[in-house]
Amino acid sequence: QTPVKLVDYQPFSHVLNRVELTFRLAPQATRVLARLHLAPNPAGPGGDLRLDGEGLRLIALALDGVALEATPDATGLTIAAQALPDAPFVLESEVEIAPEGNTALEGLYMSGGMYCTQCEAEGFRKITFYPDRPDVMARFDVRIESEMPVLLSNGNPVAAGPGWAEWHDPWPKPAYLFALVAGDLVAHSASFTTASGREVALNIWVRQGDEGRCAYAMDSLIRSMRWDEQVYGREYDLDVFNIVAVDDFNMGAMENKGLNIFNSKLVLATPETATDTDYERIEAVIAHEYFHNWTGNRITCRDWFQLCLKEGLTVFRDQQFSGDMRSHAVKRIEDVLALRARQFREDGGPLAHAVRPDAYVEINNFYTATIYEKGAEVIGMLKALVGEAGYKAALDLYFDRHDGQAATIEDWLRVFEDATGRDLTQFKRWYTEAGTPRVKVTEDWAEGVFTLTLQQELPPTPGQPDKGAKVIPVAVGLLNPNGDEVVPTTVLELVEPVQSFRFEGLAARPVASILRGFSAPVVLERNVSAQERAFLLAHDTDPFNKWEAGRALAKDVLARMIVEGAEVSRDWLAALARVALDESLDPAFRALALRLPGEDDMAATLHDAGHVPDPARIHAARRAMAGALAQELAGALPGLMAGLAVQGPFAPDAAQAGKRALRNAGLALLSRLDGGAAAEAAYAQADNMTDSLAALAVLLEAGRGAAELAGFEARWAGERLVMDKWFMVQVLHAAPQDLASVVERLTTRADFDWKNPNRFRAVIGALAANHAGFHHASGAGYRLLADWLLRLDPKNPQTAARMSTAFETWPRYDADRQALIRAELERIMAAPGLSRDLGEMAGRMLA
C-alpha cells in the first residue's frame, strides 16, 4: 500500500478545457464515448499524458481523429510524450462498463432500477479514461441515450427527444462533481427567484409513490437558497437545480453541480415515517449540499489533502444555517456532543490525523469527523479570533479571489491574513497537527485580582510525537457570588504553552465560566467543586456552558459510581431536577440536560483519567443513575409530561420537536418506575414516528415491546426507510448479553438486504453502537462485526472500511478485550483479496 503524499503534488501535464460525453446506457454494457479537448499545460511538468481509468473495457482510442494503439494498465492509460502534439488536440475514447454489477456504489451504478453515479472522490475513473483529479476543471457537454423517461446530468438542459437528452454545464468543474441519472422518476417541483431576479426551476426526483414525501426537503432547499444570498451574498448560478433520491448510497448525499444525489433517507419524510431528528438532518444536509455550490463547486480543492477546505467550511455554514432556523444554543450543544462522540474519539486513537493530512492510501477513508467537524471548529475559531466583520471581509475576498479555482488551505488562510492583517502562521498548526489539546486551568484570587492560568498540553498522535503550541481562543465570562455576570464574554487568546490572564476591579472572588460556546475543540481540565458546577448550571448566562456544567457534574457523579461504587449524588439530582422543571427554559435544552452521558463517552472519560473502563459496570451504573433520576422526579413527571402535549397538527419545527424530546425523555424516566406501562400506552396513542419510535425504544429498554415490534413490522413491512428503524432500534436497545443473538436473528431474515448500505448500517452499525453489548467480554460482538466486514468488503469496500472504525477504541480497554479486538483486526488483515480501503484502516488501527 503506497501512500499518496502532499509533498509530491504536481500540476497536471495538460489543460482540459472541454469534455463531450455520450452515454449509451445498458445495464450490462454501457458505452461511454468521451472527447477530451486537451492542450499542453505551460505550468505543468510536461512528459507523458496519464489518464486514470479502472475496470474499463477500451473499445477505441483516437487522437485528432487518428486511431491510437494503447494498452491500459490496472489504474489507467499512458500516452507517451512523443505521440502528443504540442498544440491543442482532441482525444477520443470509447469504453464499455457494466453498471448493474457495480456493488461498490462508486462510478455509474444501478439502484432500484435506475442509473445513478457517485464520483467523489475518485469514481469518475470508473466511467471513462480521464485525469480524475480536482484541479483539472472543464466544461462538460453530456448526451444520454436511454429508454428511461427521465435523463439528467449537470448544468442546464439543452435539448431532448425520445430516448435521449443533452445537458450543458457552463461552469468548469472537476470530474468528481459529474453526475448522471436515468430512471422512471417523478418530480416534486417548485421555483425560486434569485436576489437578482433569475428564475430557477427546482425539482426533487423520486420513485412513483414517493412524491408526497418531498415537501420538507423542498422547503429546506428554498430556505437554504435564500439564506446563502442573505448571509453570504451567494446566488445560485444555473437555470435548474435537481435533487434525486436513491435507495443505495454509501453516505448521506453528494453535491454534484446542479444535480445533487441524495440517500433517500435524507429526502423523504412524512410525520408518520420520519422522526424529528430525521427532519432536522434533512434540513441540514439539503443545506450542506446546496452550500457546496459555492464552497466546493465554484471554488474547489486543488488536491484531496485540501478536502477540509470545502468540507469544514460547508459544515460550518450548515451549522450556522441550522442555528438560524432553529436554536443556536441547542444546535451548539448537539454539535459538541457529536464532535466529542466521533471526532475526539478519532483524535484520541490510532486513526488520528490532521485536519489537513499529508498522506493517504485510500482517500475515501478520509471523509472523517476530523476533516468535517474539526474542520468546521477550526473555522469557528478563526471567526472568534477575527470577529464578525473580519470573517465577512475574509469570506468576500475568498469568493472574489478564488472563484473558478482549485484552492488550498494556504489560499484560505491568506484571505484571512489579507483581509484582517493578522498573522496566521501559528494558527495553521490546527490544520497540520492532529490530536485534541488539553487545557489545564488554575485560578487564583488575591487582593481583588482574579488570575486565570491556562496551560496547553498536546498529546502525541500517530506520526506526530511533538507539537507546537496552538492558538486557542478561550471565551470566558465571570459571575459574582449572586450569579450576576460581572465580566461579559471575553475571548482570551492562549498562544503560549502557559499563560496567565488577570481580571481586576472585582468586589468578590468570581465564578469563572470558561470555554463559553465551546470556543475551541479542546478538553478543559479543571478542578471544580460540585457546588461550583451546580452554581454554573443554575446561573450561567451562556447556554452552552450552563448545559456543560450539568454535563460535567453528571460525568463526575457517574464516574464515581462506576469506579468507587458510590451512590448517586443528591446534589446532582436536585440540581438537574431544577433544570428539568424550569419552565423558563427551552424544552429542547431541558431534554439535552436530561440526556445522561453515553457509555462510550464514559469509557473515553475514564480512560483519559487513567482508569481501564469496564463496559458492563458503565452500563449498570448508567442504568442506576437513570433510575435514581426517575425517583427524584417521580412526583413531577406526570405534570411535566402533560404540560408538554403538542397542540394541533404535527409540525417538524424546533418548538414542537423540543416538546416531544422532553416528553419522551420523561417517558423514558417514567418507565424506570412503572416498568413500561406508560410507554405501552404512549406507543398505542402515537400518531407520528418520533413518538412511536421513542416509545418502542423505551419498551425495549424495559425488556418489553414484543407485541409492538410485531405490530410495527406488520404496518411498515414495505417501507425500507421505516424498516431500517425497526431493525436498528432492536439492536441499539438489546441487553448486552443478548446483542449477538439479536443481530444473528435479524441478519438471517430475508429482508436483511446487506448490500444496501442503509440496512447494513441499521444492523451492523448499531451493533457497534451498543457499547456494553459490542464490548461484551465474550468477544461475540467483535467477531460478528469482523465477519460482516469481511463479507461486505469484496462487494462494497468503502462502507466496510467506514464501519471498521468501531474498532478504533481498542487501546482503551483491558488486556483481554484488546487481545480479542486485535485478533479480529489481524484476521481482517490476513483475508485474501482485502480491499485497499479496509486494508488501510485495519493496518492503521494495528500500527
Residues annotated catalytic, as ranges: 289
The answer to whether the CB of 332 falls within 8 A of the CB of 544 is yes
In the complex, what is the shortest distance from the CB of residue 260 to ligand B3K, in angstroms, rounded to a whole number? 9
Helix pair 276-291, 689-701: axis angle to 10 deg: 120
Query: What is the distance of C-alpha 509 from the center of its chain?
Result: 42
In the complex, what is the shortest distance from the CB of residue 74 to ligand B3K, in angstroms, rounded to a whole number? 21
In the beta sheet, which residues pair with residue 240?
Answer: 201
Q: Which is nearer to Zn ion, 255 or 701 (CB)?
A: 255
Which position among 94, 135, 255, 614 is part of the footprint of ligand B3K (CB under 6 A)? Answer: 255
Helix pair 307-325, 215-232: axis angle to 10 deg: 110
Read off the amino acid at residue 689.
Answer: M
Which of 266, 90, 157 minimizes the C-alpha distance to 757? Answer: 266
In eight-state DSSP terms, residue 342 is I
In the complex, what is the shortest distance from the CB of residue 288 to ligand B3K, in angstroms, rounded to a whole number? 5
Count the Cβ atoms, other than its own, within 10 Å of residue 229. 15
H helix runs in 300-456, sequence order: 307-325, 328-338, 345-347, 369, 375-402, 409-420, 429-432
The answer to whether the CB of 524 falls within 8 A of the CB of 454 is no
| Cell 488575591 belongs to residue | 446
Q: Which is nearer to Zn ion, 256 or 314 (CB)?
A: 314
Q: Which stretch, 284-292, 513-521, 523-531, 677-685, contacts ligand B3K (CB under 6 A)?
A: 284-292
Site for ligand B3K (CB under 6 A): how many residues? 12
Q: Which three cell numbers stand for residue 417?
A: 491574513
The item of Zn ion, ligand B3K, none sharing an interface with residue 317, based on CB under 5 to 8 Å by kind, is: none
Q: Which stretch, 87-95, 252-260, 583-591, 606-614, contacts ligand B3K (CB under 6 A)?
A: 252-260
Which position among 228, 247, 289, 840 is part of the footprint of ligand B3K (CB under 6 A)? Answer: 289
Site for Zn ion (CB under 5 A): how many residues? 2
In the complex, what is the shortest distance from the CB of residue 249 to ligand B3K, in angstroms, rounded to a whole number? 10
- Using the rule CB under 6 A, is 122 a contact of ligand B3K? no
In the complex, what is the shortest distance from the CB of residue 545 to ligand B3K, in angstroms, rounded to a whole number? 30
Q: Which is nearer to Zn ion, 264 or 314 (CB)?
A: 314
In the complex, what is the shortest distance from the CB of residue 370 to Zn ion, in angstroms, rounded to a whole number? 14
Q: Interaction with Zn ion in 580-599: which residues (CB under 5 A)? A: none
Q: Which three cell numbers stand for residue 817?
A: 478485550
Q: Which is nearer to ligand B3K, 440 or 836 (CB)?
A: 836
Size of the chain, expressed as the number of residues it contains: 847
Backbone φ and ψ of 302, nearest 5°? -65, -40
Residue 454 Cα distances to 311, 499, 542, 563, 821, angstroms: 31, 5, 20, 29, 38
Q: How far apart are CA 703 and CA 35, in angstroms?
A: 63
The item of ligand B3K, Zn ion, none sharing an interface with residue 364, based on CB under 5 to 8 Å by kind, is: ligand B3K
- Using the rule CB under 6 A, is 691 a contact of ligand B3K? no
In eight-state DSSP terms, residue 295 is B
At 533, is the secondary structure helix, strand, or coil?
helix
The item of ligand B3K, Zn ion, none sharing an interface with residue 121, based on CB under 5 to 8 Å by kind, is: ligand B3K
- Using the rule CB under 6 A, is 278 a contact of ligand B3K? no
In the complex, what is the shortest distance from the CB of residue 319 to Zn ion, in angstroms, rounded to a whole number? 12
Residue 401 Cα distances to 389, 392, 418, 473, angstroms: 18, 14, 11, 28
The answer to whether the CB of 126 falls within 8 A of the CB of 55 is yes
- Using the rule CB under 6 A, is 254 a contact of ligand B3K? yes
Q: Which is nearer to ligand B3K, 254 or 394 (CB)?
A: 254
Site string for ligand B3K, 435-474 (x = CB under 6 A): ----------------------------------------
The item of ligand B3K, Zn ion, none sharing an interface with residue 178, based on CB under 5 to 8 Å by kind, is: none
- Using the rule CB under 6 A, is 266 a contact of ligand B3K? no
Q: Which is nearer to ligand B3K, 94 or 120 (CB)?
A: 120
Q: How far apart are CA 346 and CA 653, in angstroms?
A: 32
Query: What is the distance of C-alpha 723 from the center of its chain?
Result: 23
CB-count exposure of residue 600 (10 Å: 0-12, 13-18, 19+): buried
Q: How far apart are CA 443 and CA 422, in angstroms?
A: 30
In the complex, what is the shortest distance from the CB of residue 349 to ligand B3K, in angstroms, rounded to a whole number? 21
Q: Interaction with ligand B3K in 292-331: which residues (CB under 6 A)? A: 292, 311
In the complex, what is the shortest distance from the CB of residue 286 to Zn ion, in angstroms, rounded to a whole number? 12
The answer to whether the CB of 644 falls within 8 A of the CB of 663 is yes
In the complex, what is the shortest distance from the CB of residue 267 to ligand B3K, in angstroms, rounded to a whole number? 14
In the complex, what is the shortest distance from the CB of residue 307 to ligand B3K, in angstroms, rounded to a whole number? 9
The answer to whether the CB of 151 falls within 8 A of the CB of 165 is yes
* Sequential DSSP letters for 78-139: EE-GGGS-SS-EEEEEEEEE-GGG-TT--EEEEETTEEEEE-TTTTGGGTSSB--STT--EE
H helix runs in 139-261, sequence order: 215-232
Q: How far apart are CA 208 and CA 551, in angstroms?
A: 46
H helix runs in 455-542, sequence order: 530-539
766 prior amide bond cis, ω within 30: no
Which position among 294, 367, 430, 712 is part of the footprint of ligand B3K (CB under 6 A)? Answer: 367
Q: Which stretch, 156-164, 217-225, 251-259, 503-511, contacts ligand B3K (CB under 6 A)?
A: 251-259
The item of Zn ion, ligand B3K, none sharing an interface with residue 691, based on CB under 5 to 8 Å by kind, is: none
Count the Cβ atoms, other than its own, within 10 Å of residue 504. 9
Q: Which stretch, 12-20, 286-294, 406-414, 782-790, contacts ligand B3K (CB under 6 A)?
A: 286-294
The item of ligand B3K, Zn ion, none sharing an interface with residue 283, based on CB under 5 to 8 Å by kind, is: none
Read off the amino acid at residue 120.
Answer: E
- Pairing status of strand 472-479 against strand 511-514: antiparallel
- Using the rule CB under 6 A, is 110 a contact of ligand B3K? no
Q: Which stretch, 247-255, 457-465, 723-731, 763-771, contacts ligand B3K (CB under 6 A)?
A: 247-255
- Using the rule CB under 6 A, is 213 a contact of ligand B3K? no
Q: How far apart are CA 689 and CA 271, in angstroms?
A: 6
- Using the rule CB under 6 A, is 120 a contact of ligand B3K? yes
Q: Which is nearer to Zn ion, 314 or 545 (CB)?
A: 314
In the complex, what is the shortest distance from the CB of residue 525 to ligand B3K, in angstroms, rounded to a whole number? 33
Q: Which is nearer to Zn ion, 30 or 297 (CB)?
A: 297
Q: How far apart are CA 258 and CA 353, in angstroms?
A: 32
* Type and span of the H or E element at 803: helix 797-803
Read off the amino acid at residue 603.
Answer: A
Which position among 16, 181, 251, 557 is part of the footprint of ligand B3K (CB under 6 A)? Answer: 251
CB-count exposure of residue 806 (10 Å: 0-12, 13-18, 19+): buried
Q: Which three cell numbers stand for residue 633?
A: 422526579
Q: Which is nearer to ligand B3K, 106 or 278 (CB)?
A: 106
- Using the rule CB under 6 A, is 207 a contact of ligand B3K? no
Which position among 173, 234, 281, 288 is part of the footprint of ligand B3K (CB under 6 A)? Answer: 288
Q: Which stretch, 246-254, 474-482, 628-636, 728-736, contacts ligand B3K (CB under 6 A)?
A: 246-254
Q: Interaction with Zn ion in 286-345: which residues (CB under 5 A)? A: 311, 314
- Using the rule CB under 6 A, is 364 a contact of ligand B3K? yes
Q: Which is nearer to Zn ion, 153 or 314 (CB)?
A: 314
- Pairing status of strand 498-503 against strand 485-494: unpaired
In the complex, what is the shortest distance from the CB of residue 559 to Zn ion, in angstroms, rounded to a whole number? 36
Binding site for ligand B3K (CB under 6 A): 120-121, 251, 253-255, 288-289, 292, 311, 364, 367
Binding site for Zn ion (CB under 5 A): 311, 314
